[in-house]
Chain A
Amino acid sequence: MTRIVLGPFNRVEGDLEVSLDVVDGQVAAAWVNSPLFRGFEQILIGRPPLDALAIVPRICGICSVAQSAASAAALADAMGLTPTANGLLARHLIQATENLADHLSHFYLFFMPDFARPAYAGHPWYEAAAARFAAVSGAATAEILPARAAFLKLMGFLAGRWPHTLALQPGGSTRAMTAGERVRLLALLREFRSFLERSLFGDTLANVAALDSRDALAAWAEGRTADFPRFLQFAGSLGLGRMGRAGDAFLSYGAYDCFAPGRWQDGVVSELNPAAISEDSVSAWLRNGPPRHPASGETLVDADKPDAYTWCKAPRYEGQVYEVGALARQVVAGHPLLRDLVVQAGGSVTARVVARVLELALVAPRMEGWVRALQPGEPFCAHGSLPDEAVGVGLTEAARGSLGHWLSIRRGRIDRYQIIAPTTWNFSPRDSDGQPGPLEAALVGLPAGEGAPPAVQHVVRSFDPCMVCTVH
């Protein structure tokens, strides 16, 4: 057996190290280390509660407004405040803009460049992959960056800027849209739709969203030359559709009031009860204790703890490992294509990438609907007051999965603030029962070591990890 340490594992958000035990050229066991500690839960303690809105976006530069939205929801819960109808639409629009921009960045900047690695030089598609997707120099990078920047102009209107806005408030948004600005928002969304249909899909968003099975997807992709069909071609030739399965148990808090919350396993959808969530810190450089529900959770550093190997806790639901992310969100919500992909061959590298790309086709048209539903002149923000003693929970979906904030207020100050980020679920370490986290399980059996293909690279990046959130 040999031990391989992979790091810095780049083209993910933040710093990541993966250790692999390799036997006969295959991964026998994996350990995922988030080597950076941020300490945000301590930063928040003692602050005025609404300060969380200025602090939590700074946890993460790529999930910034997801953090804002979870915090605003937790504060609204503590205040007993319901956002206005316009405020909710603005929140959906701001979150969807971030989520879709993240999906696009992940696909083009983080994931696809691995197909341009020299290791694939023998494949018939290699020359085309290298020309289009090579990191930095590929033609796609030059195309995607202006398209992404143009799409994020939505944030200039709706949220002032991205990342790190204070526009999301417990009662809605600080920024009311005028009738004229609605027209600009729709124009920006049309521009984005046009980019997606031309470069990513080579087809209409409606046709992509309607794909309902693995066979339908394969038939659709046949002979098509846009970037998503190209991915399907590469993935098919490398067997990525059978690679990188974790436990195939999925969890989602639900998104935009249109993708339902819940859990999915073995073809069965079940309810989600947030009380069943706990965090275990046995493998983290944090003080030991029994697994705790985040409402009573603690984050106390124990940097010299023997046998610990990461700064990441291990969230579990009823003690079980769950995967979160776009695939989980769409499988739980019932999209037939993703359900079929998982039923046929499990939650693979391909399925995770398809889920993100499919969300671009599913959500962009909904954004146009939300803009049309805005009522200029009606309020964008409801107002309330903060009690001196209260608790609140904010559950939302970031691009890369389920994000929860648990807050308690005492004597008018933040007394406890616990966060479980998406990658905390997916890149969690072993828990007290010795269960590895989703990525740790997904890596087992992959080829690794000298001369091995970059399978590990694909599997790790298929989760679209955000390490800075993980170690908030």
Chain B
Amino acid sequence: MKVLWLQSGGCGGCTQSLLCHEPRGLIDELRDAGIEFVWHPALSVESGDEALAVLEDCASGARPFDVLCIEGAMLRGPNGTGSFHLMAGSGRPLTDWVSRLAVQARWVFAIGSCTAYGGFSASTPGNPLEACGLQFDEHTPGGLLGAGFRSGGGLPVVNIAGCPTHPGWVVDTLEKLAIEGLQPSDLDAYGRPLLYASELVHHGCPRNEYYEFKASAEKQSDLGCLMENLGCKGTQAHADCNLRTWNGSGSCLRGGFACVACTEPGFESPGHAFQETPKLAGIPIGLPTDMPKAWFVALAALSKSATPPRVRDNATVDHPVVLPSVKKAKGK
């Protein structure tokens, strides 16, 4: 399976993340799964005219390829010219290249939330960059390719959202496609592969005991649950970050900071400070997905009243001050 990769209005972080693939190195992993890059801006030897020749052949249909991976928002400005990103050496807007290549590709992958929904590039008030995703403007279907776009393989754009994406999300989606194909039923309503978006970041969160008892962190570096005060959206964000983990054993929560829901459209403009939880009458506005508000309020009150001293005391410090007690054996 041949993969062509281009970058535009983004930070390149999804490629940097991809290169962290483990346990096997990325290139070995992909090669043995029958996947190769036609061209990748960070990896390929071809530069300048050699690279343009590859891209032109792909765009004209002379050189068949399977998957078009785009990393970064589509910058349509200023005034619809696309000249906020003219592809080096070609003098043509990257948006032109993407439009031409997308109709030749059997599948189109949006790598990262910028590419999927617009991301930070689209978040300046008034959107002067005229940034958008491949097939979404934030939550609204559309984007560069339009809501009706279907690639040669019959799918809309596959949105491997995340800021950055997890290397496993990209590699597993490519490998699933290579092994058994992708169906519309493999994607959620925002085009994200269910192989990672069917979970919530909350699942597997190491702070679960604090969450259960609503023992909340009050300031950065506290061990408690980050939902009530510090802006965590793990109970609403679709991703398997705490099951799959990042860079070995990590995740945002494991790093001690809030999930900002970077796999969700519009995460970049939450309407409140990222590290603070907006509340109404003392209750967080963003409640856990699928949980009726009245239940949440009732359960929160109950669990707060039942919080063990260990959990309560450890929640507001950066290392445990009370350890789980050890039961002594009976009769000795």
Contact between A61 and B17, CB atoms less than 8 A apart: yes
A145 in contact (CB, < 8 A)? yes
Give which listed residue, A8, A162, A303, contacts B247 with CB less than 8 A.
Answer: A162
B302 in contact (CB, < 8 A)? no
**Residues in A whose Cβ lies below 8 Å from that of B209:** none
**Residues in A whose Cβ lies below 8 Å from that of B274:** 50-51, 53-54, 166
B246 in contact (CB, < 8 A)? yes
Give which listed residue, B7, B24, B248, contacts A15 with CB less than 8 A.
Answer: B7
A17 in contact (CB, < 8 A)? yes
Kindly report which residue of chain B lies nearest to residue A118, judged by CB atoms: B45
Which of A169-177, A350-358, A429-437 forms part of the interface with chain B? A169-177
Contact between A64 and B13, CB atoms less than 8 A apart: yes
Fill in one digit per residue for B27-69: 1 if any A CB lies within 8 Å of its CB, else 0.
Answer: 1100000000100011111111001100000000000000000
Contact between B319 and A53, CB atoms less than 8 A apart: no
Contact between B28 and A142, CB atoms less than 8 A apart: yes
Which of B85-93, B152-160, B188-196, B291-299 forms part of the interface with chain A? B85-93
A102-155, CB < 8 A from B: 105, 109-110, 113-114, 116-117, 134-137, 141-146, 148-150, 152-155
Chain A nearest Cβ from B25, distance in angstroms: 3
A171 to B222, CA, bound (A): 13
Contact between B25 and A149, CB atoms less than 8 A apart: yes
A421 to B134, CA, bound (A): 29
B20 in contact (CB, < 8 A)? yes
**Residues in B whose Cβ lies below 8 Å from that of A109:** 19, 42-43
> Which of A171, A176, A376: most chain B Cβ within 10 A?
A176
Give which listed residue, B12, B75, B250, contacts A155 with CB less than 8 A.
Answer: B250
A40 in contact (CB, < 8 A)? yes
Contact between A145 and B220, CB atoms less than 8 A apart: no
Contact between A135 and B75, CB atoms less than 8 A apart: no
A35 to B8, CA, bound (A): 10
> Which of B11, B125, B246: most chain A Cβ within 10 A?
B11
A46 to B268, CA, bound (A): 14
A457 to B15, CA, bound (A): 22
**Residues in A whose Cβ lies below 8 Å from that of B318:** 176, 379-381
Contact between B48 and A9, CB atoms less than 8 A apart: yes
**Residues in A whose Cβ lies below 8 Å from that of B258:** 166
A148 to B248, CA, bound (A): 12
B185 in contact (CB, < 8 A)? no
B72-91, CB < 8 A from A: 75, 78, 81, 83-90
**Residues in A whose Cβ lies below 8 Å from that of B78:** 301, 303
Query: Total interface residues on A, using CB and 8 Å?
Result: 88
**Residues in B whose Cβ lies below 8 Å from that of A114:** 45
A247 in contact (CB, < 8 A)? no
Kindly report which residue of chain B lies nearest to residue A184, judged by CB atoms: B249
B303 in contact (CB, < 8 A)? no
Which of B99-107, B116-124, B137-145, B305-313 forms part of the interface with chain A? B116-124
Kindly report which residue of chain B lies nearest to residue A137, judged by CB atoms: B27
B132 in contact (CB, < 8 A)? no
Given A156-B245, A468-B11, are A150 and B22 also a contact pair (CB < 8 Å)?
yes
Contact between B120 and A35, CB atoms less than 8 A apart: no
Give which listed residue, A156, A167, A376, contacts B249 with CB less than 8 A.
Answer: A156
Chain B nearest Cβ from A400, distance in angstroms: 13
B304-327, CB < 8 A from A: 318-319
A287 in contact (CB, < 8 A)? no
Query: Total interface residues on B, using CB and 8 Å?
Result: 79
Contact between A54 and B12, CB atoms less than 8 A apart: no
Contact between A8 and B85, CB atoms less than 8 A apart: no
**Residues in B whose Cβ lies below 8 Å from that of A143:** 25
Contact between A11 and B47, CB atoms less than 8 A apart: yes
B255 in contact (CB, < 8 A)? yes
**Residues in B whose Cβ lies below 8 Å from that of A154:** 247
**Residues in B whose Cβ lies below 8 Å from that of A344:** none
**Residues in B whose Cβ lies below 8 Å from that of A455:** none
Contact between B120 and A40, CB atoms less than 8 A apart: yes
**Residues in B whose Cβ lies below 8 Å from that of A457:** 47
Give which listed residue, A8, A43, A60, A178, contacts B11 with CB less than 8 A.
Answer: A60
**Residues in B whose Cβ lies below 8 Å from that of A113:** 45
Contact between B14 and A61, CB atoms less than 8 A apart: yes
Contact between B221 and A161, CB atoms less than 8 A apart: no
B16 in contact (CB, < 8 A)? yes
**Residues in A whose Cβ lies below 8 Å from that of B238:** none
**Residues in B whose Cβ lies below 8 Å from that of A11:** 41-45, 47
B133 in contact (CB, < 8 A)? no
B214 in contact (CB, < 8 A)? no
Contact between A149 and B20, CB atoms less than 8 A apart: yes
B239-267, CB < 8 A from A: 245-258, 260, 262
**Residues in A whose Cβ lies below 8 Å from that of B47:** 6, 8-11, 457
A157 to B88, CA, bound (A): 38
A267 in contact (CB, < 8 A)? no
Chain B nearest Cβ from A165, distance in angstroms: 6
**Residues in B whose Cβ lies below 8 Å from that of A167:** 255-257
Contact between B22 and A146, CB atoms less than 8 A apart: yes
Give which listed residue, A35, A117, A144, contacts B45 with CB less than 8 A.
Answer: A117
Contact between A35 and B88, CB atoms less than 8 A apart: yes
Given A146-B23, A156-B247, are A136 and B42 also a contact pair (CB < 8 Å)?
no
Contact between A15 and B87, CB atoms less than 8 A apart: yes
Chain A nearest Cβ from B65, distance in angstroms: 16
**Residues in A whose Cβ lies below 8 Å from that of B319:** 176, 178, 376-377
B128 in contact (CB, < 8 A)? yes
B171 in contact (CB, < 8 A)? no
Contact between B121 and A38, CB atoms less than 8 A apart: yes
Kindly report which residue of chain B lies nearest to residue A173, judged by CB atoms: B221
Kindly report which residue of chain A lies nearest to residue B79, judged by CB atoms: A303
Contact between A6 and B48, CB atoms less than 8 A apart: yes
**Residues in A whose Cβ lies below 8 Å from that of B202:** none
Chain B nearest Cβ from A144, distance in angstroms: 8
A301 to B255, CA, bound (A): 37
Chain B nearest Cβ from A39, distance in angstroms: 5
Fill in one digit per residue for A1-24: 1 if any B CB lies within 8 Å of its CB, else 0.
Answer: 000011111110111110000000
Chain B nearest Cβ from A138, distance in angstroms: 10
A249 in contact (CB, < 8 A)? no
Chain A nearest Cβ from B14, distance in angstroms: 7
Given A62-B16, A156-B249, are A35 and B25 also a contact pair (CB < 8 Å)?
no
A453 in contact (CB, < 8 A)? no
Contact between B250 and A159, CB atoms less than 8 A apart: yes
**Residues in A whose Cβ lies below 8 Å from that of B234:** none
Contact between A10 and B84, CB atoms less than 8 A apart: no
Given A167-B256, A176-B318, A301-B128, are A381 and B85 also a contact pair (CB < 8 Å)?
no
Q: List 12 A-B contacts (CB under 8 A).
A: A9-B88, A14-B7, A38-B121, A39-B128, A136-B27, A145-B28, A146-B22, A160-B246, A169-B220, A176-B319, A178-B319, A301-B128
Q: Which 5 A-B pairs have the closest CB atoms?
A: A160-B255, A61-B13, A7-B88, A7-B89, A156-B250
11 more A-B residue pairs beyond the given contacts A51-B275, A62-B16, with a C-beta to C-beta distance below 8 A: A10-B42, A39-B121, A42-B128, A61-B17, A109-B43, A153-B250, A156-B245, A166-B274, A303-B84, A379-B221, A468-B10
| Chain B residues packing against A (C-beta within 8 Å) | 7-17, 19-28, 37, 41-48, 51-52, 75, 78, 81, 83-90, 119-121, 123-125, 128-129, 163-164, 219-221, 245-258, 260, 262, 268, 273-276, 318-319
